[in-house]
């Protein structure tokens, strides 16, 4: 339990998807103009990460890893399908996003109105595929992987919402013309990343 809490906090603050790895930057910059859309996409990212990371964990550990197929037959112990991990991960993410979209549209129109337009964007959001690609390098079990997924999503949400809040305020400031829009946003993100670096030495007491 303590271990899970540690992974959770770590993936939000220290290994923040945006500020430590710059994953999902394209949609991060595109939706952070307005607070409301930012919160919508952020929520969708948490949702999709919380489900696709465990799914990809299962795919990796029971299908792709060397010797992962032994649960079918002991003869398969020597098979290593890791080459296929990119295709399998992205197929799972894309298919799953499509599936969620249809399910939400059917059962909860209000949630669909809030998240619906963002879901197709998410299939190509690097943070989703990135989280899946981190799995082979970190030896998590299923519970830890799920926690890592949710934590990364919350970290992304936090980053996008705070940038959107800053950018809304920025509308009133006098920025040099060529720097307006993208340029100043990058500089703000850089400064925010600096702030988040101060969490690097931070460790939970257990």
DSSP characters over the chain: -HHHHHHHHIIIIIT-TTTTT-TTHHHHHHHTTSHHHHHHHHHHHHHHHHHHHHHHHHHIIIIISTTGGGGT-GGGGG---GGGHHHHHHHHHHHHHHHHHHHHHHH-HHHHHHHGGGHHHHTT-HHHHHHHHHGGGS---HHHHHHHHHHHHHHHHHHHHHHHHHHHHHTTS---GGGTTHHHHHHHHHHHHHHHHTTTT-----
Q: Interface residues for another protein in 146-175 (CB under 8 A)?
A: none
| 202 is a contact residue toward another protein (CB under 8 A) | no
| 197 is a contact residue toward another protein (CB under 8 A) | yes
For another protein, the binding residue among 87, 107, 139, 205 (CB under 8 A) is: 87
Q: Please state the closest distance from residue 75 (CB atom) to another protein, in A.
A: 25
For another protein, the binding residue among 177, 198, 205, 206 (CB under 8 A) is: 177
| 25 is a contact residue toward another protein (CB under 8 A) | yes
For another protein, the binding residue among 8, 12, 13, 19 (CB under 8 A) is: 19
Per CB under 8 A, residues contacting another protein are 19-26, 29-30, 83-87, 90-91, 94-95, 120, 123-126, 128-130, 133-134, 137, 176-187, 189-191, 193-194, 197
């Amino acid at each position: 339990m303590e271990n899970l809490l540690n992974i959770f906090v770590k993936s939000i603050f220290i290994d923040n998807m945006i500020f430590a790895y710059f994953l999902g930057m394209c949609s991060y910059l595109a939706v952070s103009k307005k607070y409301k859309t930012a919160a919508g996409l952020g929520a969708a990212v948490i949702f999709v990460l919380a489900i696709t990371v465990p799914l990809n964990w299962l795919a990796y550990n029971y299908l792709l890893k060397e010797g992962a197929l032994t649960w079918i037959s002991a003869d398969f112990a020597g098979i290593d399908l890791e080459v296929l991990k990119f295709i399998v991960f992205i197929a799972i993410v894309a298919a799953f996003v499509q599936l969620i979209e249809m399910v939400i549209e059917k059962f909860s129109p209000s949630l669909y109105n809030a998240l619906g337009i963002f879901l197709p964007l998410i299939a190509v959001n690097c943070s989703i595929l990135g989280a899946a690609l981190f799995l082979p390098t970190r030896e998590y079990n299923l519970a830890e992987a799920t926690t890592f997924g949710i934590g990364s999503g919350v970290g992304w949400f936090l980053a996008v919402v705070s940038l959107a809040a800053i950018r809304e305020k920025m509308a009133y400031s006098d920025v040099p013309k060529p720097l307006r829009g993208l340029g100043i946003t990058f500089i703000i993100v850089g400064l925010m990343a600096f702030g988040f670096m101060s969490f690097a030495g931070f460790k939970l007491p257990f």
